[in-house]
Chain A
Amino acid sequence: MGKRNQLVEVLGSGKRLKGLRVDAVYNPNTTDRKQPGYPMPMRSCYLTGVCTPSPWLFSPPFYVSYLLIWVTNLFLLVQREEKQLEASLDALLSQVADLKNSLGSFICKLENEYGRLTWPSVLDSFALLSGQLNTLNKVLKHEKTPLFRNQVIIPLVLSPDRDEDLMRQTEGRVPVFSHEVVPDHLRTKPDPEVEEQEKQLTTDAARIGADAAQKQIQSLNKMCSNLLEKISKEERESESGGLRPNKQTFNPTDTNALVAAVAFGKGLSNWRPSGSSGPGQPGQPGAGTILAGTSGLQQVQMAGAPSQQQPMLSGVQMAQAGQPGKMPSGIKTNIKSASMHPYQR
Protein backbone atom coordinates (compact mmCIF):
# COMPACT_ATOMS: atom_id res chain seq x y z
CA MET A 1 0.00 0.00 0.00
CA GLY A 2 2.84 2.27 0.73
CA LYS A 3 4.37 1.92 -2.66
CA ARG A 4 1.03 2.24 -4.29
CA ASN A 5 0.44 5.43 -2.40
CA GLN A 6 3.73 6.78 -3.60
CA LEU A 7 2.79 5.97 -7.13
CA VAL A 8 -0.52 7.60 -6.64
CA GLU A 9 1.21 10.60 -5.22
CA VAL A 10 3.32 10.92 -8.29
CA LEU A 11 0.46 10.29 -10.62
CA GLY A 12 -2.08 12.28 -8.81
CA SER A 13 0.10 15.21 -8.09
CA GLY A 14 -0.72 16.65 -11.43
CA LYS A 15 2.78 16.43 -12.76
CA ARG A 16 2.87 16.71 -16.48
CA LEU A 17 4.43 13.62 -17.95
CA LYS A 18 5.38 14.19 -21.53
CA GLY A 19 2.80 16.92 -21.72
CA LEU A 20 -0.04 14.58 -20.90
CA ARG A 21 -1.97 14.34 -17.79
CA VAL A 22 -2.06 10.89 -16.41
CA ASP A 23 -4.99 9.58 -14.52
CA ALA A 24 -4.89 8.66 -10.95
CA VAL A 25 -4.87 5.04 -10.05
CA TYR A 26 -8.23 3.56 -9.50
CA ASN A 27 -8.42 1.17 -6.68
CA PRO A 28 -11.91 -0.13 -6.16
CA ASN A 29 -11.16 -1.03 -2.61
CA THR A 30 -10.21 2.33 -1.45
CA THR A 31 -12.75 5.00 -1.25
CA ASP A 32 -10.45 7.87 -0.61
CA ARG A 33 -9.68 8.41 -4.30
CA LYS A 34 -13.21 8.72 -5.34
CA GLN A 35 -13.36 12.17 -6.64
CA PRO A 36 -16.59 14.05 -6.78
CA GLY A 37 -18.20 15.01 -10.02
CA TYR A 38 -16.50 12.38 -12.08
CA PRO A 39 -19.07 10.18 -13.66
CA MET A 40 -16.45 8.17 -15.51
CA PRO A 41 -14.53 5.53 -13.69
CA MET A 42 -10.92 6.25 -13.55
CA ARG A 43 -8.80 3.67 -15.14
CA SER A 44 -5.38 2.71 -14.00
CA CYS A 45 -2.66 3.41 -16.29
CA TYR A 46 1.06 3.13 -16.27
CA LEU A 47 3.72 5.61 -16.99
CA THR A 48 3.67 5.04 -20.75
CA GLY A 49 2.45 8.40 -21.66
CA VAL A 50 -0.84 6.98 -22.85
CA CYS A 51 -3.45 9.61 -23.03
CA THR A 52 -6.49 8.33 -21.39
CA PRO A 53 -9.77 10.13 -21.69
CA SER A 54 -9.85 11.93 -18.51
CA PRO A 55 -12.57 14.54 -18.69
CA TRP A 56 -10.12 17.12 -17.51
CA LEU A 57 -8.56 16.97 -20.86
CA PHE A 58 -11.56 18.41 -22.55
CA SER A 59 -11.51 21.62 -20.75
CA PRO A 60 -11.30 24.81 -22.85
CA PRO A 61 -7.64 25.70 -22.34
CA PHE A 62 -6.80 22.41 -23.91
CA TYR A 63 -8.97 22.95 -26.95
CA VAL A 64 -6.65 25.55 -28.35
CA SER A 65 -3.52 23.54 -27.77
CA TYR A 66 -5.10 20.54 -29.37
CA LEU A 67 -6.13 22.56 -32.33
CA LEU A 68 -2.63 23.91 -32.65
CA ILE A 69 -1.11 20.46 -32.47
CA TRP A 70 -3.49 19.14 -35.07
CA VAL A 71 -2.79 21.96 -37.44
CA THR A 72 0.99 21.50 -37.06
CA ASN A 73 0.64 17.83 -37.74
CA LEU A 74 -1.34 18.46 -40.86
CA PHE A 75 1.19 20.92 -42.08
CA LEU A 76 4.02 18.51 -41.48
CA LEU A 77 2.11 15.82 -43.29
CA VAL A 78 1.58 18.02 -46.28
CA GLN A 79 5.24 18.94 -46.30
CA ARG A 80 6.24 15.35 -46.11
CA GLU A 81 3.96 14.46 -48.98
CA GLU A 82 5.35 17.24 -51.06
CA LYS A 83 8.85 16.04 -50.41
CA GLN A 84 7.82 12.53 -51.38
CA LEU A 85 6.21 13.78 -54.53
CA GLU A 86 9.29 15.69 -55.47
CA ALA A 87 11.58 12.78 -54.80
CA SER A 88 9.48 10.36 -56.78
CA LEU A 89 9.18 12.83 -59.61
CA ASP A 90 12.95 13.11 -59.69
CA ALA A 91 13.34 9.38 -59.83
CA LEU A 92 10.75 9.15 -62.57
CA LEU A 93 12.48 11.88 -64.52
CA SER A 94 15.84 10.17 -64.39
CA GLN A 95 14.30 6.87 -65.46
CA VAL A 96 12.51 8.48 -68.33
CA ALA A 97 15.68 10.27 -69.37
CA ASP A 98 17.53 6.93 -69.46
CA LEU A 99 14.76 5.40 -71.48
CA LYS A 100 14.83 8.30 -73.90
CA ASN A 101 18.57 7.94 -74.34
CA SER A 102 18.44 4.25 -75.07
CA LEU A 103 15.56 4.76 -77.48
CA GLY A 104 17.56 7.44 -79.22
CA SER A 105 20.62 5.27 -79.56
CA PHE A 106 18.50 2.40 -80.84
CA ILE A 107 16.97 4.62 -83.51
CA CYS A 108 20.44 5.83 -84.49
CA LYS A 109 21.62 2.26 -84.72
CA LEU A 110 18.72 1.29 -86.93
CA GLU A 111 19.17 4.26 -89.20
CA ASN A 112 22.92 4.27 -89.57
CA GLU A 113 23.98 0.66 -89.36
CA TYR A 114 21.11 -0.74 -91.30
CA GLY A 115 23.27 -2.80 -93.57
CA ARG A 116 25.32 -4.62 -91.00
CA LEU A 117 22.85 -4.89 -88.18
CA THR A 118 22.50 -8.37 -86.76
CA TRP A 119 19.49 -9.82 -85.04
CA PRO A 120 21.28 -10.42 -81.73
CA SER A 121 22.25 -6.78 -81.57
CA VAL A 122 18.66 -5.70 -82.17
CA LEU A 123 17.56 -8.11 -79.48
CA ASP A 124 20.07 -6.55 -77.12
CA SER A 125 18.59 -3.11 -77.67
CA PHE A 126 15.11 -4.42 -77.09
CA ALA A 127 16.25 -6.13 -73.93
CA LEU A 128 17.74 -2.90 -72.69
CA LEU A 129 14.51 -1.03 -73.37
CA SER A 130 12.45 -3.70 -71.70
CA GLY A 131 14.69 -3.60 -68.64
CA GLN A 132 14.35 0.13 -68.37
CA LEU A 133 10.60 -0.04 -68.69
CA ASN A 134 10.60 -2.56 -65.92
CA THR A 135 12.55 -0.31 -63.59
CA LEU A 136 10.19 2.50 -64.50
CA ASN A 137 7.29 0.33 -63.49
CA LYS A 138 9.02 -0.54 -60.25
CA VAL A 139 9.60 3.10 -59.46
CA LEU A 140 5.93 3.83 -60.07
CA LYS A 141 4.83 0.96 -57.88
CA HIS A 142 7.19 1.86 -55.09
CA GLU A 143 5.50 2.30 -51.74
CA LYS A 144 7.00 5.72 -51.23
CA THR A 145 5.52 7.00 -54.46
CA PRO A 146 2.35 8.96 -53.96
CA LEU A 147 -0.55 8.25 -56.24
CA PHE A 148 0.02 10.39 -59.25
CA ARG A 149 -3.57 9.92 -60.18
CA ASN A 150 -4.50 12.32 -57.44
CA GLN A 151 -2.43 15.09 -58.95
CA VAL A 152 -3.79 17.30 -61.66
CA ILE A 153 -1.81 19.32 -64.15
CA ILE A 154 -3.57 22.36 -65.49
CA PRO A 155 -1.97 24.62 -68.03
CA LEU A 156 -2.17 28.13 -66.74
CA VAL A 157 -1.01 30.11 -69.74
CA LEU A 158 -1.15 29.16 -73.39
CA SER A 159 0.60 31.40 -75.87
CA PRO A 160 1.54 31.05 -79.50
CA ASP A 161 4.88 32.80 -78.88
CA ARG A 162 8.17 30.97 -78.74
CA ASP A 163 9.27 30.20 -75.25
CA GLU A 164 13.03 30.03 -74.88
CA ASP A 165 12.94 28.34 -71.49
CA LEU A 166 10.71 25.61 -72.79
CA MET A 167 12.96 25.16 -75.79
CA ARG A 168 15.93 24.70 -73.57
CA GLN A 169 14.21 22.27 -71.26
CA THR A 170 12.83 20.08 -74.00
CA GLU A 171 16.09 20.19 -76.02
CA GLY A 172 14.47 22.10 -78.83
CA ARG A 173 11.59 19.76 -79.42
CA VAL A 174 8.77 21.92 -78.05
CA PRO A 175 9.25 25.54 -79.07
CA VAL A 176 5.78 26.77 -78.31
CA PHE A 177 3.38 25.97 -75.52
CA SER A 178 0.26 26.51 -77.55
CA HIS A 179 -3.16 25.04 -78.13
CA GLU A 180 -1.95 22.32 -80.47
CA VAL A 181 0.85 21.17 -78.24
CA VAL A 182 -1.14 20.85 -75.04
CA PRO A 183 -3.64 18.11 -76.05
CA ASP A 184 -0.76 15.83 -77.04
CA HIS A 185 1.59 16.50 -74.18
CA LEU A 186 -0.86 16.67 -71.33
CA ARG A 187 -2.96 13.78 -72.54
CA THR A 188 -4.12 11.28 -69.96
CA LYS A 189 -6.51 9.16 -72.02
CA PRO A 190 -5.72 7.40 -75.26
CA ASP A 191 -6.84 8.66 -78.67
CA PRO A 192 -10.54 8.40 -79.41
CA GLU A 193 -9.89 5.86 -82.16
CA VAL A 194 -7.71 3.83 -79.84
CA GLU A 195 -10.37 4.02 -77.17
CA GLU A 196 -12.92 2.73 -79.64
CA GLN A 197 -10.69 -0.19 -80.54
CA GLU A 198 -10.05 -1.04 -76.94
CA LYS A 199 -13.75 -0.95 -76.17
CA GLN A 200 -14.36 -3.25 -79.12
CA LEU A 201 -11.75 -5.68 -77.89
CA THR A 202 -13.13 -5.75 -74.37
CA THR A 203 -16.66 -6.42 -75.62
CA ASP A 204 -15.34 -9.22 -77.83
CA ALA A 205 -13.47 -10.71 -74.96
CA ALA A 206 -16.50 -10.50 -72.69
CA ARG A 207 -18.66 -12.11 -75.34
CA ILE A 208 -16.63 -15.30 -75.52
CA GLY A 209 -17.25 -16.30 -71.98
CA ALA A 210 -14.88 -17.20 -69.20
CA ASP A 211 -14.58 -20.94 -69.95
CA ALA A 212 -13.85 -20.60 -73.61
CA ALA A 213 -11.34 -17.89 -72.82
CA GLN A 214 -9.58 -20.15 -70.34
CA LYS A 215 -9.44 -22.94 -72.89
CA GLN A 216 -7.96 -20.61 -75.46
CA ILE A 217 -5.37 -19.40 -72.99
CA GLN A 218 -4.38 -22.92 -72.11
CA SER A 219 -4.04 -24.05 -75.70
CA LEU A 220 -1.91 -21.02 -76.48
CA ASN A 221 0.37 -21.77 -73.54
CA LYS A 222 0.66 -25.39 -74.57
CA MET A 223 1.58 -24.49 -78.14
CA CYS A 224 4.17 -22.01 -76.97
CA SER A 225 5.81 -24.49 -74.64
CA ASN A 226 5.85 -27.18 -77.36
CA LEU A 227 7.52 -24.80 -79.73
CA LEU A 228 10.08 -23.79 -77.12
CA GLU A 229 10.87 -27.41 -76.39
CA LYS A 230 11.33 -28.18 -80.05
CA ILE A 231 13.67 -25.26 -80.51
CA SER A 232 15.80 -26.08 -77.49
CA LYS A 233 16.00 -29.74 -78.46
CA GLU A 234 17.08 -28.81 -81.98
CA GLU A 235 19.72 -26.49 -80.60
CA ARG A 236 21.08 -29.08 -78.25
CA GLU A 237 21.17 -31.77 -80.87
CA SER A 238 22.84 -29.77 -83.54
CA GLU A 239 25.60 -28.78 -81.15
CA SER A 240 26.70 -32.04 -79.70
CA GLY A 241 24.22 -34.82 -80.10
CA GLY A 242 24.38 -34.92 -83.86
CA LEU A 243 28.13 -35.24 -83.81
CA ARG A 244 28.52 -37.73 -81.07
CA PRO A 245 27.02 -40.98 -82.26
CA ASN A 246 28.52 -41.23 -85.69
CA LYS A 247 31.34 -38.77 -85.76
CA GLN A 248 33.71 -39.84 -83.07
CA THR A 249 36.95 -38.38 -84.23
CA PHE A 250 39.28 -39.92 -81.73
CA ASN A 251 39.51 -42.92 -79.54
CA PRO A 252 41.07 -42.45 -76.11
CA THR A 253 42.26 -46.03 -75.91
CA ASP A 254 44.08 -45.54 -79.15
CA THR A 255 45.65 -42.43 -77.75
CA ASN A 256 46.96 -44.32 -74.77
CA ALA A 257 48.24 -47.17 -76.88
CA LEU A 258 50.05 -44.85 -79.24
CA VAL A 259 51.58 -42.79 -76.48
CA ALA A 260 52.76 -45.93 -74.75
CA ALA A 261 54.25 -47.19 -77.99
CA VAL A 262 56.21 -44.02 -78.53
CA ALA A 263 57.25 -43.61 -74.93
CA PHE A 264 58.59 -47.06 -74.19
CA GLY A 265 57.79 -49.29 -77.09
CA LYS A 266 54.72 -51.00 -75.80
CA GLY A 267 53.32 -53.19 -78.52
CA LEU A 268 56.20 -52.60 -80.89
CA SER A 269 58.93 -54.89 -81.98
CA ASN A 270 59.84 -55.64 -78.42
CA TRP A 271 60.62 -59.08 -79.56
CA ARG A 272 62.61 -61.76 -77.99
CA PRO A 273 65.06 -63.46 -80.31
CA SER A 274 64.12 -67.10 -79.94
CA GLY A 275 63.94 -70.31 -81.84
CA SER A 276 61.84 -70.07 -84.89
CA SER A 277 60.40 -73.41 -85.68
CA GLY A 278 57.27 -72.09 -87.11
CA PRO A 279 56.83 -69.75 -90.02
CA GLY A 280 59.33 -67.02 -90.40
CA GLN A 281 56.75 -64.42 -89.66
CA PRO A 282 56.49 -63.59 -86.03
CA GLY A 283 52.98 -64.31 -85.02
CA GLN A 284 51.40 -61.57 -83.22
CA PRO A 285 48.06 -60.69 -81.81
CA GLY A 286 45.87 -58.78 -84.18
CA ALA A 287 45.51 -55.07 -84.00
CA GLY A 288 42.38 -55.70 -82.07
CA THR A 289 44.28 -56.43 -78.90
CA ILE A 290 46.15 -53.22 -79.19
CA LEU A 291 42.96 -51.36 -79.64
CA ALA A 292 41.48 -53.07 -76.69
CA GLY A 293 44.15 -51.43 -74.60
CA THR A 294 45.30 -54.39 -72.63
CA SER A 295 47.34 -53.73 -69.60
CA GLY A 296 50.63 -55.40 -68.97
CA LEU A 297 53.27 -55.57 -71.54
CA GLN A 298 52.25 -56.87 -74.90
CA GLN A 299 54.95 -58.89 -76.45
CA VAL A 300 55.14 -59.69 -80.04
CA GLN A 301 55.37 -63.38 -80.33
CA MET A 302 58.10 -64.68 -82.41
CA ALA A 303 57.29 -67.98 -83.92
CA GLY A 304 58.02 -69.49 -80.61
CA ALA A 305 59.12 -72.72 -79.27
CA PRO A 306 57.53 -73.89 -76.09
CA SER A 307 60.53 -72.48 -74.38
CA GLN A 308 58.71 -69.24 -74.43
CA GLN A 309 56.49 -70.41 -71.70
CA GLN A 310 58.96 -69.34 -69.11
CA PRO A 311 58.30 -65.95 -67.63
CA MET A 312 60.91 -63.51 -68.71
CA LEU A 313 62.79 -61.39 -66.31
CA SER A 314 64.80 -58.36 -67.09
CA GLY A 315 68.28 -59.06 -68.09
CA VAL A 316 67.61 -62.62 -69.01
CA GLN A 317 68.83 -63.43 -72.39
CA MET A 318 66.94 -65.93 -74.40
CA ALA A 319 68.62 -68.55 -76.42
CA GLN A 320 68.99 -67.33 -79.86
CA ALA A 321 68.19 -69.18 -82.95
CA GLY A 322 69.98 -68.18 -86.03
CA GLN A 323 67.52 -65.90 -87.62
CA PRO A 324 68.54 -64.11 -90.71
CA GLY A 325 68.34 -60.37 -90.66
CA LYS A 326 68.26 -60.13 -86.91
CA MET A 327 69.79 -57.31 -85.01
CA PRO A 328 73.12 -58.06 -83.35
CA SER A 329 72.98 -60.53 -80.56
CA GLY A 330 73.08 -59.68 -76.92
CA ILE A 331 69.90 -57.81 -76.80
CA LYS A 332 68.95 -57.05 -73.29
CA THR A 333 65.38 -56.12 -73.01
CA ASN A 334 63.83 -54.07 -70.35
CA ILE A 335 60.69 -55.85 -69.43
CA LYS A 336 58.56 -54.53 -66.71
CA SER A 337 56.12 -57.34 -66.30
CA ALA A 338 55.78 -60.83 -67.49
CA SER A 339 52.75 -61.77 -69.43
CA MET A 340 51.76 -65.04 -70.85
CA HIS A 341 50.57 -64.63 -74.29
CA PRO A 342 47.34 -66.51 -74.99
CA TYR A 343 48.41 -67.61 -78.43
CA GLN A 344 51.13 -70.14 -78.35
CA ARG A 345 52.53 -71.17 -81.62
Chain B
Amino acid sequence: MEAPPVTMMPVTGGTINMMEYLLQGSVLDHSLESLIHRLRGLCDNMEPETFLDHEMVFLLKGQQASPFVLRARRSMDRAGAPWHLRYLGQPEMGDKNRHALVRNCVDIATSENLTDFLMEMGFRMDHEFVAKGHLFRKGIMKIMVYKIFRILVPGNTDSTEALSLSYLVELSVVAPAGQDVVSDDMKNFAEQLKPLVHLEKIDPKRLM
Protein backbone atom coordinates (compact mmCIF):
# COMPACT_ATOMS: atom_id res chain seq x y z
CA MET B 1 0.00 0.00 0.00
CA GLU B 2 2.87 2.27 -0.83
CA ALA B 3 1.89 5.57 -2.28
CA PRO B 4 2.88 5.78 -5.92
CA PRO B 5 5.84 7.99 -6.69
CA VAL B 6 5.07 11.66 -6.67
CA THR B 7 5.89 12.22 -10.30
CA MET B 8 3.09 9.93 -11.37
CA MET B 9 0.43 11.57 -9.28
CA PRO B 10 -1.90 13.86 -11.12
CA VAL B 11 -1.89 17.41 -9.98
CA THR B 12 -5.53 17.80 -9.22
CA GLY B 13 -6.93 20.03 -6.61
CA GLY B 14 -6.20 19.55 -3.00
CA THR B 15 -2.95 19.66 -1.15
CA ILE B 16 0.41 20.20 -2.79
CA ASN B 17 2.72 17.26 -2.57
CA MET B 18 5.37 18.15 -0.12
CA MET B 19 8.75 16.53 -0.21
CA GLU B 20 11.14 16.20 2.63
CA TYR B 21 14.80 16.81 1.81
CA LEU B 22 16.98 15.19 4.36
CA LEU B 23 20.65 15.06 5.33
CA GLN B 24 21.81 13.08 8.32
CA GLY B 25 24.90 12.74 10.40
CA SER B 26 25.92 12.17 13.95
CA VAL B 27 28.09 13.74 16.58
CA LEU B 28 29.68 12.16 19.61
CA ASP B 29 28.51 13.25 23.04
CA HIS B 30 31.65 15.08 23.97
CA SER B 31 31.53 17.23 20.85
CA LEU B 32 27.91 18.15 21.30
CA GLU B 33 28.68 21.46 22.98
CA SER B 34 30.85 22.70 20.13
CA LEU B 35 28.22 21.69 17.62
CA ILE B 36 25.51 23.51 19.57
CA HIS B 37 27.63 26.62 19.74
CA ARG B 38 28.30 26.51 16.04
CA LEU B 39 24.65 26.00 15.24
CA ARG B 40 23.65 28.85 17.48
CA GLY B 41 25.97 31.05 15.51
CA LEU B 42 24.90 29.83 12.09
CA CYS B 43 21.17 29.52 12.56
CA ASP B 44 18.46 32.05 13.09
CA ASN B 45 18.63 33.94 16.27
CA MET B 46 16.19 32.44 18.69
CA GLU B 47 16.18 30.93 22.09
CA PRO B 48 17.68 27.47 22.03
CA GLU B 49 14.80 25.10 21.80
CA THR B 50 14.89 21.68 23.38
CA PHE B 51 12.39 18.98 22.86
CA LEU B 52 11.46 15.65 24.35
CA ASP B 53 9.32 13.58 22.06
CA HIS B 54 7.92 10.11 22.12
CA GLU B 55 7.53 8.58 18.70
CA MET B 56 5.63 5.45 17.82
CA VAL B 57 5.79 3.80 14.46
CA PHE B 58 2.70 1.95 13.24
CA LEU B 59 2.48 -0.59 10.51
CA LEU B 60 -0.45 -1.72 8.48
CA LYS B 61 0.18 -4.97 6.75
CA GLY B 62 -1.89 -5.33 3.67
CA GLN B 63 -1.88 -7.92 0.95
CA GLN B 64 1.27 -6.44 -0.53
CA ALA B 65 4.62 -7.35 0.86
CA SER B 66 5.62 -3.94 2.14
CA PRO B 67 3.53 -2.53 4.94
CA PHE B 68 2.25 0.97 5.21
CA VAL B 69 4.16 2.97 7.82
CA LEU B 70 2.83 5.88 9.81
CA ARG B 71 4.68 7.74 12.53
CA ALA B 72 2.91 9.22 15.49
CA ARG B 73 4.77 11.66 17.66
CA ARG B 74 3.81 13.35 20.84
CA SER B 75 5.58 15.91 22.90
CA MET B 76 6.39 14.86 26.41
CA ASP B 77 7.45 18.22 27.72
CA ARG B 78 4.89 20.52 26.16
CA ALA B 79 1.50 20.00 27.59
CA GLY B 80 -1.35 20.60 25.26
CA ALA B 81 0.61 20.30 22.07
CA PRO B 82 -1.16 18.28 19.40
CA TRP B 83 0.01 14.91 18.31
CA HIS B 84 1.84 14.77 15.03
CA LEU B 85 1.14 12.14 12.42
CA ARG B 86 3.56 11.76 9.58
CA TYR B 87 3.80 9.68 6.45
CA LEU B 88 7.16 9.31 4.75
CA GLY B 89 7.40 7.74 1.36
CA GLN B 90 10.22 5.87 -0.23
CA PRO B 91 13.27 7.95 -1.00
CA GLU B 92 13.43 9.03 -4.60
CA MET B 93 16.60 7.66 -6.02
CA GLY B 94 18.19 8.20 -9.36
CA ASP B 95 19.49 11.70 -9.41
CA LYS B 96 23.09 11.56 -8.32
CA ASN B 97 23.40 15.29 -8.44
CA ARG B 98 20.83 15.80 -5.80
CA HIS B 99 22.68 16.14 -2.58
CA ALA B 100 19.89 15.32 -0.19
CA LEU B 101 17.58 12.39 0.35
CA VAL B 102 14.17 13.26 -1.05
CA ARG B 103 10.97 11.56 -0.06
CA ASN B 104 7.32 12.31 -0.12
CA CYS B 105 6.03 13.62 3.16
CA VAL B 106 2.61 14.28 4.64
CA ASP B 107 2.30 15.93 8.05
CA ILE B 108 -0.88 16.11 10.05
CA ALA B 109 -1.64 17.41 13.50
CA THR B 110 -4.10 15.32 15.41
CA SER B 111 -5.81 15.06 18.72
CA GLU B 112 -4.73 12.82 21.54
CA ASN B 113 -6.69 9.74 20.68
CA LEU B 114 -4.50 9.03 17.70
CA THR B 115 -3.22 5.69 18.89
CA ASP B 116 -6.68 4.33 19.56
CA PHE B 117 -7.76 5.49 16.15
CA LEU B 118 -4.88 3.81 14.45
CA MET B 119 -5.45 0.63 16.35
CA GLU B 120 -9.04 0.59 15.28
CA MET B 121 -7.94 1.11 11.70
CA GLY B 122 -5.83 -1.98 11.94
CA PHE B 123 -2.39 -0.53 12.47
CA ARG B 124 -0.10 -2.23 14.86
CA MET B 125 2.80 -0.61 16.64
CA ASP B 126 6.12 -1.72 15.40
CA HIS B 127 8.57 0.16 17.53
CA GLU B 128 8.85 3.27 19.58
CA PHE B 129 11.54 5.49 20.95
CA VAL B 130 12.10 8.70 22.82
CA ALA B 131 13.96 11.56 21.19
CA LYS B 132 15.54 14.25 23.32
CA GLY B 133 17.53 17.08 21.91
CA HIS B 134 17.76 20.52 20.42
CA LEU B 135 16.03 22.17 17.54
CA PHE B 136 17.42 24.93 15.34
CA ARG B 137 16.02 26.71 12.37
CA LYS B 138 17.57 28.59 9.49
CA GLY B 139 15.06 29.92 7.02
CA ILE B 140 13.15 26.90 5.86
CA MET B 141 15.83 24.50 7.06
CA LYS B 142 15.30 22.67 10.29
CA ILE B 143 18.22 21.22 12.18
CA MET B 144 17.57 18.68 14.90
CA VAL B 145 20.22 17.32 17.19
CA TYR B 146 18.78 14.59 19.31
CA LYS B 147 19.57 11.44 21.19
CA ILE B 148 17.52 8.33 20.70
CA PHE B 149 16.44 6.40 23.76
CA ARG B 150 15.18 2.91 23.66
CA ILE B 151 12.11 2.21 25.71
CA LEU B 152 12.78 -0.74 27.93
CA VAL B 153 9.36 -1.42 29.20
CA PRO B 154 6.90 -0.94 26.41
CA GLY B 155 4.53 1.88 27.08
CA ASN B 156 6.57 3.19 29.94
CA THR B 157 8.47 6.17 28.75
CA ASP B 158 10.35 6.63 31.97
CA SER B 159 12.52 3.60 31.71
CA THR B 160 14.65 4.52 28.81
CA GLU B 161 18.18 3.86 27.80
CA ALA B 162 20.33 5.63 25.28
CA LEU B 163 20.83 3.77 22.10
CA SER B 164 24.38 4.95 21.48
CA LEU B 165 26.92 7.48 22.59
CA SER B 166 26.11 9.84 19.76
CA TYR B 167 23.52 12.38 18.90
CA LEU B 168 21.78 12.15 15.58
CA VAL B 169 21.92 15.34 13.53
CA GLU B 170 19.28 15.87 10.92
CA LEU B 171 18.99 18.73 8.47
CA SER B 172 15.61 18.71 6.82
CA VAL B 173 13.50 20.89 4.63
CA VAL B 174 9.88 20.33 3.73
CA ALA B 175 9.21 21.95 0.41
CA PRO B 176 6.97 21.43 -2.58
CA ALA B 177 8.09 18.87 -5.09
CA GLY B 178 10.55 19.86 -7.78
CA GLN B 179 12.56 22.48 -5.95
CA ASP B 180 15.93 20.91 -6.19
CA VAL B 181 17.71 24.15 -5.50
CA VAL B 182 16.84 23.50 -1.89
CA SER B 183 19.28 20.63 -1.81
CA ASP B 184 22.07 22.95 -2.92
CA ASP B 185 21.33 25.29 -0.03
CA MET B 186 21.36 22.34 2.29
CA LYS B 187 24.67 21.17 0.98
CA ASN B 188 26.17 24.62 1.48
CA PHE B 189 24.94 24.66 5.04
CA ALA B 190 26.27 21.19 5.64
CA GLU B 191 29.68 22.34 4.45
CA GLN B 192 29.75 24.83 7.26
CA LEU B 193 29.32 22.13 9.84
CA LYS B 194 32.34 20.19 8.72
CA PRO B 195 34.53 18.81 10.22
CA LEU B 196 32.41 18.55 13.33
CA VAL B 197 29.64 16.64 11.61
CA HIS B 198 29.47 15.10 8.20
CA LEU B 199 25.94 15.51 6.99
CA GLU B 200 25.23 13.26 4.08
CA LYS B 201 22.56 11.45 2.21
CA ILE B 202 22.20 8.09 3.87
CA ASP B 203 20.01 5.54 2.17
CA PRO B 204 18.18 3.56 4.84
CA LYS B 205 17.80 0.59 2.54
CA ARG B 206 21.53 0.14 2.62
CA LEU B 207 21.45 -0.33 6.34
CA MET B 208 18.77 -2.96 6.51
Contact = CB atoms under 8 A, between A and B. Distances in A.
Interface size bucket, B side?
Answer: 35 or more
B166 A258 contact: yes
B126 interface: yes
Contacts of B34: 249
Contacts of A260: 204, 207-208
Nearest to B30: A249
Interface stretch (B42-50, B76-84, B153-161, B184-192): B153-161
B155 A327 contact: yes
B24 A267 contact: no
Nearest to B71: A262
Interface in B11-43: 24-28, 31, 34-35
A163 interface: no
Contacts of B61: 315, 332, 334
B27 A263 contact: no
Interface string B45-57: 0000000000001
Contact of A259 (B27, B154, B204): B204
A60 to B, nearest CB: 89
B150 A268 contact: yes
Given A249-B27, A250-B196, A255-B24, A264 B204 contact: yes
A250 B26 CA distance: 6
Interface string A256-280: 1111111111111111000000001
Contacts of B197: 249-250
B66 to A, nearest CB: 9
A332 B24 CA distance: 29
B154 A327 contact: yes
Contacts of B25: 250, 255
A264 B208 contact: yes
Contacts, number: 131
Contact of B154 (A248, A263, A325, A330): A325
A154 interface: no
B163 interface: yes
A265 B156 contact: no
B72 interface: no
A281 interface: yes
Contacts of A334: 59, 61, 67, 126
Given A270-B127, A334-B61, A325 B156 contact: yes
B111 interface: no
Given A250-B31, A332-B59, A332-B61, A255 B26 contact: yes
Contacts of B128: 268-269
A259 B26 CA distance: 9
A333 B58 CA distance: 10
Contacts of B119: 328
Nearest to B151: A269
Contact of A258 (B125, B127, B156, B164): B164
A261 B28 contact: no
Contact of A327 (B59, B67, B125, B168): B125
A287 B165 contact: yes
Contacts of B129: 261-262, 265, 268-269
B150 A258 contact: no
B202 interface: yes
B162 interface: yes
A326 B156 CA distance: 9
Interface in A208-261: 243, 247-252, 254-261
Contact of B166 (A250, A265, A333): A250
Contacts of B198: 250, 252, 255
A255 B127 CA distance: 19
Contacts of A25: none
Nearest to B166: A254
Contact of B126 (A262, A265, A325, A326): A265
A340 to B, nearest CB: 18
A290 B151 CA distance: 15
Query: Which of A248, A264, A268, A281: most chain B CB closer than 10 A?
Result: A268
B148 A261 contact: yes
Contacts of B202: 255-256, 259
B195 interface: yes
A269 B208 contact: no
17 contacts: A249-B35, A250-B26, A250-B27, A254-B164, A254-B165, A259-B24, A259-B207, A261-B148, A262-B168, A264-B204, A264-B208, A265-B127, A268-B127, A268-B150, A284-B152, A287-B163, A290-B164
Top 3 A-B pairs, shortest CB-CB distance:
A265-B127, A263-B204, A254-B166
Interface of A: 243, 247-252, 254-271, 280-282, 284, 287, 290-291, 300, 315, 325-328, 330-334, 336
Given A291-B165, A330-B124, 18 more contacts: A250-B166, A252-B26, A256-B207, A260-B208, A265-B126, A265-B129, A266-B207, A267-B163, A268-B129, A268-B148, A268-B163, A269-B151, A281-B153, A287-B162, A290-B164, A325-B155, A328-B119, A332-B124
